[in-house]
Amino acid sequence: MKKAKIILDKDFFVGVTDNRIYGNFVEHIGRCVYGGIYDPSCPDADELGFRKDVISMTKELNIPVVRYPGGNFVSGYNWEDGIGPREARPKRSELAWFAIETNEVGTDDFVEWCRRAGTEPNLAVNLGTRGPDAARNMVEYCNRASGTYWSDLRIKNGYKDPHNVKLWCLGNEMDGPWQIGHKTAYEYGRIANEAGKVMKWIDPTIELVACGSSNMKMATFGEWEATVLEEAYDVSDYISLHIYFDNLANDLPNFLAKSVEMDSYIHSVIAICDFIKSKNRKKKDVNISFDEWNVWYHAFEDNNKYIQRREWEVAPAFNEDIYNFEDALLFGSMMLSLLRRADRVKIACLAQLVNVIAPIMTVTGGGSYKQSIYYPYLHASKYGRGKVLTTLTTCDKYDSKDYTDVPLLDTIAVENEESRELTIFAVNKDLEDDTLTTLSLREYSNYEPIEHIVMQNENGKAFNTIDKPDVVMPTNKTLPKMENGKLEIVFPKLSWNVLRLKAK
């Protein structure tokens, strides 16, 4: 059995979590919207066609904000198509995912879904085929009380009170040649600045997210962020990061090490933001919105076949990764990467919520289940709110194919002063051994363990299905005992752990 040590001190912390770090993403892609959040054919649907089972699981996750409607979809989207009577809404050829978009769900419907699911909308504007005019009109429609064409149209459409959408994305992945309306960094920075300017003139209380690089492997990474911020720093409150990891090589040690890359990505973009701040003598910080992140690879082959066929279906079933236990372990480490920089990562949106690379899976017409990644997401959202402590962990490290000095034990601790609880999250990446870990808790000596949640599985490829939804799920372990401000706990090999303590 290997050994490790964790030291926590109440006075040393990274920052306080912004609850929006546990956000999510709903895009018009595959069965995420149609058959996912909206499915009138489902016996469990409410009077507006929203699935109650999905709403219930969304509430359980306590998701604070959901990004919508894209994603690549937004760069060709006319938001006006999705408002007014459903029977009058146009059907469109949707070029991001080569589908038919019926526009049965649009801005008003999504905001209504958010209210029912206990979350807030994060809306994206189209800066691919459109620009400042459509963006400011959308803000006026959503946020102005009355007295103008767009606000009065919202009232006419059945929404007397303004939606008061406070978080907006200035387009999506505009550095990508796959994007409709792809732009250079300078071109995007200029249009983002002009759109953001008029959007904030309509409603000065909103916050805006500028597009960063689609991923850190883009040839323009770094230069893109710097140029965009040179042009749009004053209107940008956040800059976006996107990352997805795969295990196509079926190399588990290397796969689990990929969270190190996520840490590096975050640190790099923060450095660029601060460089532009200093260079231009700005006072405010631009923080991070990590508004797309996940594990994604299982459905790649089917996705490519679908794109090549171009059959122009309504809500085609694709991008439906079925996540296994190994995926949940890296997913957990990715959550810890977000928490590790809670001082600057203020928003994060897991991509996506339902069916499409998602923690929740449904059967169109009825039936749903939770994927393996649902549980680390649930635990972090439930217990990972508060003061993120500087977590000093001493443990063995390993080298993999692409990474060096990877800690075998990935940890972070969060103190919730309101509930007087302390939670230690730990991913044990060791394939061979359990890890006996000594926790030195210092000012937390008056706390006592109340729960040790563990998710492990002898079969790393195990996954849940609609017929067997409980194959991969967490269990509770025997609690360690506190002695003189220290406790010893075993984190099993290849496991996700949540150790909760509460003040006496």
- Give me the mean pLDDT over the 388-407 stretch: 98
Six token digits for residue 18:
């912004």
Residue 465 has a pLDDT of 98
Lookup result for tokens 């729960």: 451
| pLDDT-wise least confident of 18-22, 418-422, 443-447 | 443-447
Query: Would strands 397-398 and 406-407 be described as parallel, antiparallel, or unpaired?
Result: antiparallel
| Dist CA 260 CA 273 (whole Å) | 20
Confidence band for 305, pLDDT divided at 50, 70 and 90? confident
Q: Is 256 helix (H, G, I), strand (E, B) or coil?
A: helix
The one-letter amino acid code at 432 reads E
- How far, in Å, CA of 184 to CA of 168, rounded? 21
Confidence category of residue 73, pLDDT binned at 50, 70, 90: very high
pLDDT average, residue stretch 222-237: 98
- For the chain, residues classed under CATH 2.60.40.1180 are 2-10+388-503
Q: How far is CA 191 from CA 171, 287, 288, in A?
A: 10, 20, 20
**Which DSSP helix (H) or strand (E) runs through 68?**
strand 65-68
Helix (H, G, I), strand (E, B) or coil at 491: strand
Mean pLDDT (the chain) is 97
- CATH class given for the domain over 18-383: alpha beta
Do the Cβ atoms of 61 and 384 come closer than 8 Å?
A: no
What the block records as the tokens of 245 is 């990891």
Task: Tell me the per-residue pLDDT of 481-490, one tens digit each, with 9 for 90 and over.
Answer: 898 889 999 9
Cis peptide before 69 (omega within 30 of 0): yes
Q: Is 63 exposed, middle or buried (0-12, 13-18, 19+ CB in 10 A)?
A: buried
Q: Which residues pair with 94 in a beta bridge?
A: 99
pLDDT of 137 reads 98
- Over 80: is that where the pLDDT of 309 sits? no
Strand ranges in 354-446 using DSSP code E only, listed in sequence order: 360-362, 368-370, 387-389, 392-394, 397-398, 406-407, 409-416, 421-428, 435-440
Q: What CATH code would you report for 2-10+388-503?
A: 2.60.40.1180
Residue 354 in this model has a pLDDT that exceeds 80: yes
98-112, 269-283, 373-387, 477-491: lowest mean pLDDT where? 477-491
At 304 the pLDDT is 77
How many Å apart are CA 490 and CA 485, to the nearest integer? 17
DSSP, res 502:
E
Give the model's confidence band at 318: pLDDT under 50 very low, under 70 low, under 90 confident, else very high: confident
Per-residue pLDDT, averaged over 343-353, amounts to 98
d(CA 201, CA 104): 31
Amino acid letter for position 331? F
In 10 A of CB 137, how many CB atoms? 21
The strand pair at 397-398 and 92-94 is best described as: unpaired
What is the pLDDT confidence band of residue 310, given thresholds at 50, 70 and 90? confident
Instruction: State residue 38's pLDDT score.
Output: 98
Res. 300: pLDDT tops 90: no
Strand partners, 120: 65
Report pLDDT for 371. Answer: 98
Count of CB atoms situated within 10 Å of the CB of 138: 24
User: What pLDDT digit, counting tens, does each position of 176-218 carry?
Assistant: 999 999 999 999 999 999 999 999 999 999 999 999 999 999 9
On the question of pLDDT at 301 being above 90, the answer is no
Domain with CATH 3.20.20.80 in the chain: 18-383
Examine the residue annotation and report whether 80 is marked as an active-site residue of this protein. no
pLDDT at 302 over 90: no
Percentage with pLDDT > 90 across the chain: 95
Q: Determine if the pTM surpasses 0.85.
A: yes
Amino acid 442: pLDDT = 87
Catalytic residue (one of 173, 231, 326, 421): 173
The one catalytic residue in 94, 120, 194, 292 is 292
Residue range 401-409: mean pLDDT, rounded? 98
Give the residue from 354, 371, 283, 284 showing the smallest Cα distance to 317.
Answer: 354
CA 55 and chain centroid, separation: 17
**4 with 394: CB under 8 angstroms?**
yes
Structure tokens at 88: 């009058």
Which pLDDT tens digit goes with each residue over 129-185? 999 999 999 999 999 999 999 999 999 999 999 999 999 999 999 999 999 999 999
Residue 306 pLDDT > 80, yes or no? no
**Is 458 among the catalytic positions?**
no
Q: Provide mean pLDDT across the span 35-45.
A: 96
Banded model confidence at residue 69, pLDDT cuts 50, 70, 90 = very high
Mean pLDDT confidence for 71-79: 98
Query: Distances from the Cα of 6 to the Cαs of 388, 389, 395, 425, in angstroms?
Result: 14, 11, 9, 11
